[in-house]
Structure 1
Amino acid sequence: MSKYSSAELAQMVQEDRVHRAYYTDPDVFEAEMTKVFGKVWVYVGHDSLVPRKGDYYSTTLAGQPVVLTRGEEGALHVIHNRCGHRGAKVVNQERGNARILTCMYHGWGFRVNGELAGVPMRAEFPQEALQGPQAGMVPVPRVDTYRGFVFASLDPDVMPLMDFLGSAKEGIDELVDRSPMGAIEFSAGCHRYRFRGNWKLQMDNMADTYHPAACHISTVGPDGRQFQRRAGKEGGSAMFFTSNGESVVSQLGVRGFAQGHSSEQSLFDKVQSGGVFDEYRTLLVQAHGEERTTEILKNVRHSLTLFPTLDILIAQTSVRVVKPISVDLTEVEVWPVRLAGAPAAISDDLVRYVNITHSASSFIQSDDLEAFERCQEGMRSQGTDWILVARGLGTDVQEADGVLFGPRSSEVGQRAKHYAWRALMAA
């Protein structure tokens, strides 16, 4: 049990600042697993990871091991990765295919929907002990999907997924509609790495257009630019500084959504073209029409972040997942996506691009990880108990559906996450 009351936890988030314990206190972290991750929709995987009947993908939900599976009837399931007998973790591989999931300890078998399928020496057990879902791999209370993205919740009374996503789901549409077939595939592997810092530092960063001019100076500055920002012969470059040295990226606006989601304006203002991109564009026009295709290729959003731990990297055509391990240890996964129906050269280019920008040793992500670890270390200092998130406060513009837009790298997206966290903690 946390040493903090609900009211004390909620008070860690003020209008323009958060308490350093928000990032550093193990009791706060433990409370989050129940009051945040146990109450909202959390992304667990993409349906392309389990394309065939019997496929499984093991991951975590609120720090608990779970398995995403494709049942015999083709339906998706999310089940607790725990044997109903002695509690052993059943699935030890990340991905695979099986008709029966078998526990290595005593050989109990389970169907991919979690039901108990077989028990060695079954007659020696009282039969009532083997009845009901508790004897199997128990299903997670709620599972739903949107355009291939699978979400689950430990709360049987959680709001409908579409209400939780709200208008933020348009960011998912923007990514998926890059495919002429309206489908993406997680078939290009995964970058996975850890940093010594709190998970919310990564989430804050996803709503931060203020930091690139300083944190990423080695790659965004005119003397240090080491790669083109997008594939294609034309429209791939992005201006980070004006001719007089003013930062362009730090003027980009940010949106904050009611459920803690956020999105960043795109840095790009030109449509990609040239080479195979022209062939790709023709396919998109056939699928989506001229106007929508122009919108897709121009990038309305740089990225969309869904509270608590999913980031749709639209500019990088990839998906980033944040997995809290402890108060000061976080695992990050970055999944390059392939665009179903697009020329293979387009998807190949996109995968190479993510390798450059968001792998553990990339030009961009390595800067961020250094910043996160310095934040975690610096917040051990008692110089002040408060972390400022006041940039743009009072200048936010109210849009539809409770969305707030903050111009010039406002921290409104970070505040949206903090306020959503506060509401859950206060409950």
Structure 2
Amino acid sequence: MSYTNERIAQLVRADSVHKSVYTDPALYQLEMDRIYGQAWIYVGHDSQVPNLGDYHATRIGDQDVVMVRASDKKVYVLYNRCPHKGAKLVPDGCGNAGKFFRCPYHAWTFKLDGAHLSAPMKGGYEGTAFDAKHPDFAMRQLARVESYRGFVFASQAPGGPELVDFLGGVVSSIDNLCDRSPVGEVEVAGGVFRVMQTSNWKVFYENLHDTMHAPVTHESSFVAAREQAAEMGEMPLELHIMDGNGEPYSFWEKLELHAYEHGHGYMEGIFNPGAANTDAVTRAHYEVLEKAYGAERASAILGQNRHNTIIYGSGSPHTVFQQFRVIRPMAVDRTLIEIQTFRLKGAPEAVFKRSLMYANVINSPSSNVMADDVELYDRCQKGNQTRGGEWTSLHRYAGQDRVVDGGMQSTNGTSELPMRNQFKAWKTYMLASNRTTIPIAVEACSAAQLGDDCHAA
């Protein structure tokens, strides 16, 4: 069975996509090669590896990788594989390797930049083709690694745009997150939430800018928040951030959605506790920023109001509450969400505590809000596996969005512009290979399964 570029192109229309993009394991494997094997993908923050030998083991697409701080103080990203028998050198998560990596299988060792260091009983290799200096006997580095203000990205492709050019219009979200610190630096702190979602990785990206779902999907949580507030006689921030999902459609229509190349974009904020300087935490935050940057810039930093930014293929920074929801595909129907919370260096501790509160209320596995979303993602995955239809709709305000400098902007806050933009990028990635046909060992897909516009190769 072969996948042709023609067949892939037919899966994405201007106003809809074929359901197989969420359910077909063969397409998922192509995504791992053509998207996650090409794009810049967020690996982690350099604050997760502050000391010599510190490592953070994670994934880029279907590849196990490890980010490590080496003796030259640089951060490297290596494939998590011993070249002897292929064993993973370190387990997932964070740890410290010491001065070198040591394979737990046969004790081959490697410098922290991946170079081969030693192998036991070297006499056994005399007279063979074994060469400790040859790359085949070292841990392999990823093709390209760059850091932007401490956020480490890697690409498995040797060529392509530079990181800043790839990020384009959403680089300003990373800037704003860091600028909220009076010293311009942030660090991962307070632990990391992990949630396994039984759905395709693209579903979460779409939902991040789906304003139409909020008052429907989250009815249970915002109604509960309002009932609790009524009993208390006030609406504290913990309840207010849940109540925000219950705004009427007229509220969501006024929000701005921005879309950029490579599938990126951002959504205007639902609320911003730092914009008005009305509470003690914000006033204290403003004072340290004013001292560092001056009044005008301090107001501009806290006044930038973005809810979810999308870095397509990596995840979603939330600048106001210093979060990063990292989205890691695990299978065609499984997606691991890793929620990192950042401390703003030099900012009042109360600002960090507010970020932790937001993480617990919104992003925790036990959150009332997240449970709503996760259930609906699962329902989308299961529904798209039925014979109830072939296409999913992206019609809202299709063809009506505005072209602006560097990208596009919605004419209405309920537009499905972000989803159309993501699939435009998806299609570009998936068709970018120089190979016309990719051999895939899958069952044949009939023309009826693909719909009238598609055909099996």
Residue 219 in structure 1 maps to residue 221 in structure 2: yes
Amino acid of the structure 2 residue aligned with 1:154? Q
Aligned counterpart, 1:104? 104
Instruction: Call closer, same or farther: CA 1:250–1:314 in 2, change over 3 Å.
Output: farther
Instruction: Call closer, same or farther: CA 1:260–1:140 in 2, change over 3 Å.
Output: same
Amino acid of the structure 2 residue aligned with 1:87? G
- Asked whether the equivalents of residues 231 and 350 of structure 1 are also in contact (C-alpha less than 8 Å), the reply is no
Residue 60 in structure 1 maps to residue 65 in structure 2: no
Residue 306 in structure 1 maps to residue 311 in structure 2: yes
TM-score, normalised by the number of residues in structure 2: 0.87
Matches within 5 A, 1:171-250: 171-221=173-223, 223-224=226-227, 230=237, 246-250=249-253
Which of these residues, 255, 258, 262, is aligned with residue 259 of structure 1?
Answer: 262
- Asked whether the equivalents of residues 65 and 81 of structure 1 are also in contact (C-alpha less than 8 Å), the reply is yes
Matches within 5 A, 1:18-417: 18-97=17-96, 98-125=98-125, 126=128, 128-221=130-223, 223-224=226-227, 230=237, 246-268=249-271, 270-417=275-422
Moved more, 88-97 or 2-11: 2-11
- Asked whether the equivalents of residues 78 and 114 of structure 2 are also in contact (C-alpha less than 8 Å), the reply is yes
Amino acid of the structure 2 residue aligned with 1:300? N
Name the SS of the counterpart of 2:131 in structure 1. Answer: helix
Name the SS of the counterpart of 2:327 in structure 1. Answer: strand
Instruction: Call closer, same or farther: CA 1:231–1:277 in 2, change over 3 Å.
Output: farther
Name the SS of the counterpart of 1:23 in structure 2. Answer: helix
Q: How many residues align?
A: 422
- Distance across 1 between alignment mates of 2:217 and 2:135: 50
- Distance across 2 between alignment mates of 1:388 and 1:58: 37
Structure 1: 5+ residue stretches without partners: none
Name the SS of the counterpart of 1:37 in structure 2. Answer: coil
Instruction: Call closer, same or farther: CA 1:406–1:47 in 2, change over 3 Å.
Output: farther
Q: CA deviation at 1:11?
A: 1.8
Amino acid of the structure 2 residue aligned with 1:123? G
Q: CA deviation at 1:237?
A: 9.4
Name the SS of the counterpart of 1:129 in structure 2. Answer: coil
Could you say what the CA RMSD is over the residues aligned between the two structures, in angstroms?
A: 2.2
Q: CA deviation at 1:150?
A: 0.5
Name the SS of the counterpart of 1:28 in structure 2. Answer: helix
- Distance across 1 between alignment mates of 2:296 and 2:412: 26
Structure 2: 5+ residue stretches without partners: 433-457
- Distance across 2 between alignment mates of 1:346 and 1:34: 40
Q: CA deviation at 1:76?
A: 1.1
Instruction: Call closer, same or farther: CA 1:195–1:231 in 2, change over 3 Å.
Output: closer
Instruction: Call closer, same or farther: CA 1:319–1:390 in 2, change over 3 Å.
Output: same
- Asked whether the equivalents of residues 142 and 152 of structure 1 are also in contact (C-alpha less than 8 Å), the reply is yes
- Distance across 2 between alignment mates of 1:333 and 1:42: 14
- Asked whether the equivalents of residues 170 and 309 of structure 2 are also in contact (C-alpha less than 8 Å), the reply is yes
- Asked whether the equivalents of residues 272 and 298 of structure 1 are also in contact (C-alpha less than 8 Å), the reply is no
- Distance across 2 between alignment mates of 1:230 and 1:289: 28
Instruction: Call closer, same or farther: CA 1:280–1:315 in 2, change over 3 Å.
Output: closer
Instruction: Call closer, same or farther: CA 1:118–1:207 in 2, change over 3 Å.
Output: same
Instruction: Call closer, same or farther: CA 1:405–1:123 in 2, change over 3 Å.
Output: farther
- Distance across 2 between alignment mates of 1:80 and 1:228: 49
Deviations 1:358-415 (A, max 9, x none): 1111122111101100100111122221000121212211111133434222111111
- Distance across 2 between alignment mates of 1:103 and 1:336: 32
Instruction: Call closer, same or farther: CA 1:228–1:157 in 2, change over 3 Å.
Output: farther
- Distance across 2 between alignment mates of 1:79 and 1:225: 49
- Asked whether the equivalents of residues 24 and 376 of structure 1 are also in contact (C-alpha less than 8 Å), the reply is yes
Instruction: Call closer, same or farther: CA 1:224–1:328 in 2, change over 3 Å.
Output: farther
- Asked whether the equivalents of residues 176 and 184 of structure 1 are also in contact (C-alpha less than 8 Å), the reply is yes
Instruction: Call closer, same or farther: CA 1:224–1:296 in 2, change over 3 Å.
Output: farther
- Distance across 2 between alignment mates of 1:113 and 1:224: 56
Deviations 1:24-57 (A, max 9, x none): 0111101100011101111111111011122111
Deviations 1:173-194 (A, max 9, x none): 1111111111111121100010
Name the SS of the counterpart of 1:124 in structure 2. Answer: helix
- Distance across 2 between alignment mates of 1:101 and 1:139: 14
Moved more, 301-310 or 143-152: 301-310
- Distance across 2 between alignment mates of 1:225 and 1:74: 51
Amino acid of the structure 2 residue aligned with 1:261? H
- Asked whether the equivalents of residues 54 and 95 of structure 2 are also in contact (C-alpha less than 8 Å), the reply is yes
- Distance across 1 between alignment mates of 2:395 and 2:426: 17
Q: CA deviation at 1:224?
A: 4.8
- Distance across 1 between alignment mates of 2:236 and 2:306: 15
Deviations 1:89-119 (A, max 9, x none): 1112521222111101100011111011111
Instruction: Call closer, same or farther: CA 1:140–1:382 in 2, change over 3 Å.
Output: same
Deviations 1:137-175 (A, max 9, x none): 100010001111110011001211111011210011111
TM-score, normalised by the number of residues in structure 1: 0.93
Q: In terms of Rg, which structure is larger?
A: 2
Q: CA deviation at 1:279?
A: 2.0
- Distance across 2 between alignment mates of 1:299 and 1:220: 25
